[in-house]
Amino acid sequence: MRGDKIIVELHHRQAGKGVVDRILQSNLTPPFGITVGGESGSGKSEIAQAIADELGNHAIQSIILGQDDYFIYPPRTNDTTRRADISWVGTQEVNLTLLDDHMGQILAGCSSLEKPLVIYDEDRIESESIPTSGVNVVIAEGTYVSQLTKASVKVFIDRSFEETRAHREKRMRHASELDPFIDKVLKIEHEIISAHKKKAHVVIDTNYQAVDGPLPLS
């Protein structure tokens, strides 16, 4: 998403290295997909970037697909839609099928990909063509990406929206993100996303340590 703020800090690097160390110690070999899921403000974008950077240190070329680009509506329009009907909050807000398909296309060896691109400041969605030749790992990050079927490694950040308020304040893109209505949204998201931990191969704990998840890496 154009206009987003990503600040990769030391603790994100620590988590990213921990994830890559576990992957390299497993029997998994590229090409494969990784998802980085978790609640709002948990550091998904930052940890995804840290994973990509660490993979690069091992000469493994990766690309990041952000779930924010796959929302049905652009951010402010989506916020208005939620406020008109809070039942809109959930996985139906995102075209997860398209995101999953795009991950699959890249892993199958396509040389370029036409994908949606959210222009945050203008509240619109356009498309962009990105080069994908030589990419061996696709990293998808976002609240609901644990539901993607094309990923072999699922990372879950085990921090709730209540624990991540400071991070959300730091990256705040619009004042509406921290108003009382958003707390209602985050509670709904929490009920959905917290159940995704059981799908994880790697869990990032509250100290940003990468630990074994419920599912084994293979």
Separation CA 137–CA 35 (nearest Å): 11
Q: Could you tell me which residue, 72 or 41, shows the higher pLDDT?
A: 72
- Residue ranges in the chain assigned as alpha helix (H): 10-25, 44-57, 75-84, 96-107, 165-170, 180-193
- With b meaning 16 or more CB within 10 Å and e meaning fewer, what string describes 3-27? eeeeebeebbbbbbbbbbebbeeee
Separation CA 150–CA 100 (nearest Å): 6
What residues are paired with 116 via a beta bridge? 127
Say what the pLDDT of residue 168 is: 54
Mean pLDDT of all residues in 45-74:
98
Mean pLDDT of all residues in 85-98:
98
The angle formed by the CA atoms of residues 214, 56 and 155, to the nearest 5 degrees, is 15
Say what the pLDDT of residue 46 is: 97
Work out the pLDDT band at 27, boundaries 50, 70, 90: confident
Say what the pLDDT of residue 105 is: 98
| pLDDT at position 169 over 70 | no
Work out the pLDDT band at 160, boundaries 50, 70, 90: confident
Say what the pLDDT of residue 213 is: 97
Separation CA 156–CA 177 (nearest Å): 23
Say what the pLDDT of residue 147 is: 97
Q: Check if the beta carbon of residue 59 is closer than 8 Å to that of residue 183.
A: no
Q: Check if the beta carbon of residue 21 is closer than 8 Å to that of residue 217.
A: no
Q: What topology is assigned to 10-212 in CATH? A: Rossmann fold (3.40.50)
Q: Which of 151, 149, 155 is nearest to 37 (CA)?
A: 155
Mean pLDDT of the chain: 93
Say what the pLDDT of residue 212 is: 96
| pLDDT digit string, tens, across residues 97-131 | 999 999 999 999 999 999 999 999 999 999 999 99
Say what the pLDDT of residue 142 is: 98
| pLDDT at position 35 over 60 | yes
CA distances from 189 to 48, 53, 182, 183, 214 (A): 20, 29, 10, 10, 21
Domain boundaries, given as residue ranges, for the chain: 10-212
Say what the pLDDT of residue 161 is: 78
Which residue type does 155 have? V
With pLDDT > 70 as the criterion, what percentage of the chain qualifies?
93
Identify the helix (H) or strand (E) that includes residue 140: strand 137-142
Q: Which of 19-33, 87-101, 162-176, 192-206 has the lowest mean pLDDT?
A: 162-176
Mean pLDDT of all residues in 134-162:
95
